[in-house]
Amino acid sequence: MPHFSYRDGEFCAEAVPLKDIASRFGTPTYVYSKQALTENFAAYADACERHARGADAALVCYSVKSNSNLAVLNLLAGMGSGFDIVSGGELLRVIAAGGDPRKVIFSGVGKSRDEMRLALEHDILCFNVESIPELHRLNEVAAGLGRKAPVSLRVNPNVDAKTHPYISTGLKDNKFGVAYEDTLATYRAAADLPHLDVVGIDCHIGSQLLDDAPLLEALDKVIELVDQLEALGIPLHHLDIGGGLGITYDKEAPVAAGDYLGRLFARINAWRDEKYQGKGIKVLFEPGRSIVGNAGLLLTEVQYLKHGATKNFAVVDAAMNDLMRPAMYEAWHGVKEVIQHSGDAAAVYDVVGPICESGDWLARARTLAIRDGDLLAIMSAGAYGMTMASNYNTRGRAAEVMVDGAQVHLVRQRENPADLFVLESLLP
């Protein structure tokens, strides 16, 4: 995380000391680096520009579920990003942030009629459809509006992403997508429905992939299907290879986006030259974590240092409701002391929150030189941090700030308790 570093013993976000952010905005607070976000998106956009053939030959569709803050979406929209959404609410967020709905792809296994209607009314780019019942529902909704819905089918290629089972989506046991062996029949069914326009094919095998070999294996399977569909008289206009590239949380060494896209486009361009005399097919991507994950951290304050019979605990004011990943996945996040105390003895701590659950922990067995009242930075928290946050124990969700050089912008206010029950009513 190069845009988060120590300066004279103080941990900083870009040019701003984190202690100043805590003093101004309180804790817990999510802190994002604008420069990191910009550079991470540019890694995809620049690689597409280098390797794709033509200005409109590729589109990076940021995965909104990874971090849906309006400031993040607005920044990416200004850089030309499209968006991958999984709910009607996410579509409305994109629009509120200034994103172009005609660059939106709508994924997810359980789209409601209202969500389909909303997306059609905003003329989105495409629906990634995941079942035959969904095809029929979308056809009915489109008919009611007098429209044709653009669709691609999300294909489940049964490729092992070699990642955590909760974030693996491309195996035949997963709920996502159409089974590979059922793909051609499902495309025929889609082509026969009068209010659907078959335009593409989609594949997403999972998240936090460190090696691009599974992605390239999935690409080969999808290319084979595109050829078979062409022979059946169902030509496609775009190929969506999904997202999933991982980030460094600890000692992982994920493939660089530019290297992966270089290999991917080499295969796609060779295939197009051989089979279609260079005829173009647009390539879509759905990155999320690799853009925003290491562009953010969670800033928290130590409330108590508690020395137990077998463990030491650093009890902080952030909790599992703020950052769910450790409790849900046993995920590893780095922990940094915001102020380095020279000469203080270090000890091994579990970093835990105040929620009434034994699963409420943020990090285990970390060697830290800290005191009551010190600040800690929970690293690599830009993705699936705030978007998975809850109000468990009637806790308001954290504030969010964006750092731009020496400036800090509040991009989401902290919730207070009254916000949490304003929609509730007493019995008459």
- Is residue 304 annotated as involved in ligand binding? no
Q: Is the pLDDT of residue 161 over 70?
A: no
The span from the CA of 212 to the CA of 265, in Å, is 13
Q: Are residues 22 and 51 located together in one domain of the fold?
A: no
Identity of the residue numbered 83: F
Query: In a 3-state reduction of DSSP, which class is residue 193?
Result: coil
Say if residue 384 carries a ligand binding annotation: yes
In degrees, rounded to 5, the angle at the alpha carbon of residue 255 between the alpha carbons of residues 251 and 259 is: 150
Which sign, positive or negative, has the C-alpha torsion 202, 206, 210, 212?
negative
Check which CATH number belongs to the domain holding 42 and give it: 3.20.20.10
Tell whether 183 and 284 lie within a shared domain: yes
Say if residue 276 carries a ligand binding annotation. Answer: no
Give the chain's end-to-end CA distance (angstroms, integer): 54
Per the domain annotation, does 239 fall within a domain?
yes
Burial 101-111 (b: 16+ CB within 10 A, else e): bebbbbbbeeb
Identify the CATH number of the domain in which residue 333 sits.
2.40.37.10
**What are the pLDDT digits (tens) for 251-261?**
999 999 999 99
- 29, 98: one domain: no
- Do 202 and 331 lie in a common domain? no
What pLDDT digit, counting tens, does each position of 132-141 carry? 999 999 999 9
Assess contact for 243 and 81: CB atoms under 8 A.
no
Does the annotation list 289 as a binding residue?
yes
Q: Does 133 belong to an annotated binding site?
A: no
* pLDDT, position 321: 97
Q: Tell whether 362 and 267 lie within a shared domain.
A: no
Q: Per-residue pLDDT tens for 347-360?
A: 999 999 999 999 99
**Tokens at 247, concatenated:** 């980030």
Confidence band, pLDDT 50/70/90 cuts, at residue 164? very low
Name the token pair of 302.
């130590």
Beta strands in 210-250 (DSSP E): 238-240
Q: Measured between alpha carbons, how far is 114 from 106 in angstroms, rounded to an integer?
A: 13
| Residues 46 and 21 placed together within one structural domain of the fold | no
Q: Are strands 29-33 and 399-404 parallel, antiparallel or unpaired?
A: parallel
Question: The domain containing residue 384 runs over which residues?
Answer: 4-33+293-420
257 and 199 within one domain: yes
pTM of the model: 0.94
Tell me whether residue 53 is annotated as binding. Answer: no
pLDDT at position 171 is 45
Residue whose entry in the numeric block shows the structure tokens 């460190």: 210
Q: Name residue 47's amino acid.
A: A
Q: Check pLDDT > 60 for residue 165.
A: no
Residues 368 and 324 in one domain: yes
The domain total for the chain is 2
The least confident of 15-19, 235-239, 271-275 is 271-275
Please indicate if the annotation marks 272 as binding a ligand.
no
Domain end marker among 290, 323, 357: 290
Enter the DSSP assignment of 290. Answer: H
In this structure, are 130 and 263 located in the same domain? yes
The verdict on whether 48 is a catalytic residue reads no
Do 378 and 301 belong together in one domain?
Answer: yes
Tell me the pLDDT of the chain averaged across its residues.
93
